A and B are shown apart, each in its own frame.
Chain A
Amino acid sequence: MPASFVPSGAELVRFLPEIILTVVATLVMVLEALTGGRAGRELGHLSLAGLAAALAAALVAGDNPGAAFSGMIVCDGFATFFRLVVIAAGILIVLCSGDYLRREGAEKGEYYALLLYSIAGQCVMVGANELIVLFIGLEISSISSYVLAGYLRADRRANEAAVKYFLLGSFATAFLLYGVALIYGATGTTYLSGIRQALRVIEPPLPGLLVGASAALMFAGFAFKVSAAPFQVWAPDVYQGAPTPVAAFLSAGPKAAAFAVFLRVFMTAFEPIVEQWQPIVWASALATMIIGNFAALLQSNLKRLLAYSSIAHAGYVMVAIAGHSNIGTAAVMFYLAAYVFMNVGAFAVVAYFSRQGERYLNVQDLAGLGARQPVTAALLSIFLLSLIGVPLTGGFFGKFYIFKAALDAGLIWLTVLGLLNSAVAAYYYLRILVVMYMHEPGEATADLPPLGAALKTTLWSCALATLLLGIFPSLVLDYAGRSALLGR
């Protein structure tokens, strides 16, 4: 690779979303200081504009596919898809955060700046074609997320969540970095394609222990980020303690980006040793689904319930990864896109419903929502039905494609167990529907404020996207299918 450190124009275009996000985030920081912290709302609007610009930039970048910065960043269909997903998730989160933050008296520019930095980090992750860049992106995304989890400084639960997330997350990134170091030691490169070529070489054989340890350590790092078993323990505590919009964010953007790098690393760099990692992913997928679903059965706190549900959904995605095929990759892409909308929608309702100080978080508190606020209840029902996987919602097609990919790959037992798991999952989502529609109205639904315009926009766009993906999945799936090739 020629050592040219001055990027060309085309390379900058391919990196445009990250540039925009970083510039806007920094601008928000500066303006925050200049206005003395009184312009939170306006800075929120600015962030929204920045995200919209980044979304457009991601589309432009998608039209100019290719590599950038000596091949460390790659702007292919896969990266573009995930960029769009994480930026869209960011837009939805910003939209549903405003009301929440004002209610808690904490609408400051720094919240939005952190969010933008985190999204920029995720954009770097999904386009990373080299392990150091990947690590940098992951760190940018994670460190901002740690701070966001503890954003409500006065709240003890948020503090606990942030500390837990930070400590465990640091360990996980350390594992990842260890893995990067080992594979560099074994192959002499940190480029994914270079590693792949090195692993393909049969004579002389690479030190198997080193490569295996590296793959295992990187698996541990990624599994932590996507909350897959046995590294899922942090998720319920962090989701419960973090401010609800942040919990929504954690379950959407960072998770999607982490799955993207998981796929990219294991489907390109470690693809030659698929026989060795596939059983591990298989077992992890099964354990994740079972732990997530069965633990969710016992939850009465809405945020905790959604946290366990998000673990279970990570398990379904792992099923498709275990299938290690292009169809599986496309299924993961589709699923994550659908998941962002249905899950952010569900969290947004919780954020709205919980009210000041997050007083109402019990499933039982929703009693009578169906009678008192039929529209909100109907929207939440759409999200929940999609999470169950009822046809004509995005969640159904997501599951369908995942299990189809798994059957294609011959993973019959995993498919059957996964499908039975999704029947178990129906129970705890149904419980929310039951309380909402079939219980006598309680005091928690008595004095609900009307939905704000921004929140309404979030909910309606999430619901429309969920239904659209459920009725015309080809719109997204065809694109995902085309870009699932991943450097092969």
Chain B
Amino acid sequence: MNLLNIVLALPLAGFLVLLALPKDRHELIRRVALAVSLLTFVLSLGLAAGFQDDAPGFQFATDAPWISSPAIRYHVGLDGVSLWLVILTTLLTPIGILVSWRSITRSVKEFFVLFLLLEFGLAGVFVALDLFLFYVFWEVSLVPMYFLIGIWGHERRIYAAVKFFLFTMAGSVLMLAAIIWLYNTTGTFDFEVLLKLAARGNLAFSKLEELLLFLAFFVAFAIKVPLFPLHTWLPDAHVEAPTAGSVMLASVMLKMGCYGLVRFCLPLFPRASHQCAPWIVALAIVGIIYGALVAMVQPNMKKLVAYTSVSHLGFVVLGVFSFTQMGLDGAVYQMINHGISTGALFILVGYLYERQHSLEIVDYGGVATPAPCLAGVFMVTALASAGLPVLNNFVGEFLVLQGTAQVSLKWTALAATGVILAACYMLWLYQRVFFGETPEHVRAHVYDLKAREWAAMLPLIVLMVWLGTATRTFLPPISAANARILEQSQANVEVQVRLVPPGEARYAR
């Protein structure tokens, strides 16, 4: 039994254990959930420790038959792209549990049961190497999130939950059709086998066929990312979800889409990816600017943070479809950054909500006076999100922009406005909430961070600085994996000028 299987199985085991616990033992349920998720996190660190940066292929792999006909296998494994996403998932789950410790008061058992099931589904998505298995995890993660939003959310939770489910479902059924089509033409769901077929040029689709297959996958992923104009479910879902739900949604679930683009779209459909890239890049840039502009004028804090996601994830898509080593590295790096900093923002907004029971910016002001620590932590997070050097987002965005610049300066210039706008909306938000006169109701209700709240935030703050300064910890495995993906995505593509020799693009060492 290798470590990856244990990391994957633990949340599921925790899910079953929690199901068996009596429903009125709230404290016990919380503790078990936290213990299971912490243990999962600690074990998942072992994955990073045992990971070999330069080893080719997938590590910690398990490949066992599941269903004989059609041949569906339980095939999981890690490479540099999935490694950090798995750890991001296992890190944010205990944090989400900590955040929900007191704020979830009804149906406590169900909440934590679903939360662990969510962790199982999300982690599974990032490690599945069988397309069918991938689809299973993809859909499995949908169900708990639907309930998390719908049961524990705010006023318009039902609308948001149903919209979220239907958007994702509509995208994923087409992906299912494409997966079946791939199987019917190649006889396998196995991603590694498919890659080998592609490398040998045996994955021969007609141009139209490849385009349609690519689009079927792409639309499913683009809805999840979400790429403008498919993003409309996101503000609703984020605003209505409970804090922990927003955190998992923004930090991990959106990465499922980005991950899918990198993992499947690029290597399997290189020609179609290149063919569609200009359109996709255009949408990504529109998303970056549009998301930032809309965020700027939001009166609701959570909605503001939600729209920043649209903007930030535009960078990820831009990086992916620049087809450069730096762009791709930046995109993957930015996935993790966004997970950390936006997750932290949602947690902080959740803290404010717990104190004041309002998400409207106008209900706040001068919060820094009664809650200096909260203000300080928020400051760091806001600056990270705005892309201040030394903090995490700067690295990711910089790499993406540099990678894009190798292809087109025009794109870079347009996308860079997103960074400027990010500073505007974040600082303006900060000013309105934390500075100025402290109204009476704020003074009465707002208190500073408590120990449990610190415990949830501290790891994220540390990571923001770590990711922003010591890129060497994180970047080498990502670069190695991306170099391979890039190579696969250049196969069979005739017109593609390589601006940088692949070796040189491996900076950072």
Contacts and interface: CB of A to CB of B under 8 A. Distances in A.
Contacts of B135: 391
Given A437-B147, A437-B151, A474 B68 contact: yes
A403 B176 contact: yes
A478 B180 CA distance: 19
Interface string A407-429: 11000100110011011001100
Interface string B158-171: 10011001100110
A370 B110 CA distance: 10
B136 interface: yes
Interface in B1-59: 23
B177 interface: yes
A464 to B, nearest CB: 15
Interface stretch (B138-146, B304-312, B359-367): B138-146
Interface string A127-163: 0000000000000000000000000000000000000
Interface centre among B110, B173, B184, by most chain A C-beta atoms within 10 angstroms, is: B173
A485 interface: no
A407 B147 CA distance: 33
A448 interface: no
B376 interface: no
Contacts of A431: 162
Contact of B70 (A385, A404, A433): A404
Given A374-B23, A426-B169, A403 B139 contact: no
Contacts of B70: 404
B161 A434 contact: yes
B67 interface: yes
A477 interface: yes
Nearest to B67: A474
Contact of A371 (B107, B142, B174): B107
Nearest to B159: A434
Interface centre among A374, A391, A403, A407, by most chain B C-beta atoms within 10 angstroms, is: A391
B447 interface: no
A416 B173 CA distance: 8
A377 to B, nearest CB: 10
A372 to B, nearest CB: 12
A473 B67 contact: yes
Interface string B65-90: 00111100000000000000000000
Interface in A393-412: 396, 400, 403-404, 407-408, 412
A420 B170 contact: yes
B180 A391 contact: no
B231 interface: no
A426 B23 contact: no
A403 B143 contact: no
Interface residues of B, number: 33
B205 interface: no
A370 B150 CA distance: 12
A427 B159 CA distance: 11
B466 interface: no
A391 B158 CA distance: 23
Nearest to B133: A391
Contact of B157 (A419, A433, A438, A481): A438
Contacts of B162: 427, 430-431, 434
Contacts of B146: 430
Given A403-B176, A408-B184, A426 B165 contact: yes
B474 interface: no
A391 B136 contact: yes
Nearest to B147: A437
Interface centre among B136, B150, B176, by most chain A C-beta atoms within 10 angstroms, is: B176
Given A438-B157, A477-B69, A407 B140 contact: no
A203 to B, nearest CB: 37
Contacts of B180: 400, 403-404, 407, 415
A473 B70 CA distance: 10
Given A400-B180, A430-B165, A419 B140 contact: no
Contacts of A422: 173
Contacts of A416: 174, 177
Contacts of B428: none
Contacts of A419: 173-174, 176-177
Interface string A432-472: 01100110000000000000000000000000000000001
B69 A404 contact: no
A186 to B, nearest CB: 37
A415 B177 CA distance: 7
B181 interface: yes
B187 to A, nearest CB: 12
Nearest to B68: A474
Contacts of B140: 390-392
B183 interface: yes
A478 B68 contact: yes
Interface string B291-319: 00000000000000000000000000000
Contact of B176 (A392, A400, A430): A400
A438 B149 CA distance: 10
A322 B462 CA distance: 59
A413 to B, nearest CB: 11
A374 B110 contact: yes
A404 B165 contact: no
A437 B136 CA distance: 24
A393 B176 CA distance: 16
B211 to A, nearest CB: 14
B153 to A, nearest CB: 8
Contacts of A430: 146, 162, 165-166
Contacts of B183: 404
Nearest to B167: A423
Given A407-B177, A419-B174, A474 B69 contact: yes
A473 B71 CA distance: 12
A390 B144 CA distance: 12
Given A404-B184, A419-B174, A426-B169, A385 B151 contact: no
Interface string A355-374: 00000000000000011001
Nearest to B212: A412
B158 A438 contact: yes
B360 to A, nearest CB: 24
A392 B136 contact: yes
B150 A434 contact: yes
Contact of B184 (A400, A407, A420, A423): A407
A423 B170 contact: yes
Nearest to B176: A419
A385 B117 CA distance: 15
Nearest to A437: B151
Nearest to B23: A374
A298 to B, nearest CB: 16
Contacts of A473: 67
A407 B176 CA distance: 11
A90 to B, nearest CB: 29
Interface string B94-112: 0000000000000100100
Nearest to A397: B67
15 contacts: A370-B151, A391-B139, A396-B139, A400-B176, A404-B183, A407-B181, A415-B180, A419-B176, A423-B169, A426-B166, A434-B150, A438-B151, A474-B68, A477-B67, A481-B69
Given A407-B180, A415-B177, A474-B67, 15 more contacts: A370-B151, A374-B23, A390-B139, A391-B136, A391-B140, A403-B176, A415-B180, A419-B174, A423-B166, A423-B170, A423-B173, A434-B150, A438-B151, A478-B68, A481-B69
Closest 6 CB pairs of A and B: A419-B173, A391-B136, A423-B170, A391-B139, A423-B169, A438-B150
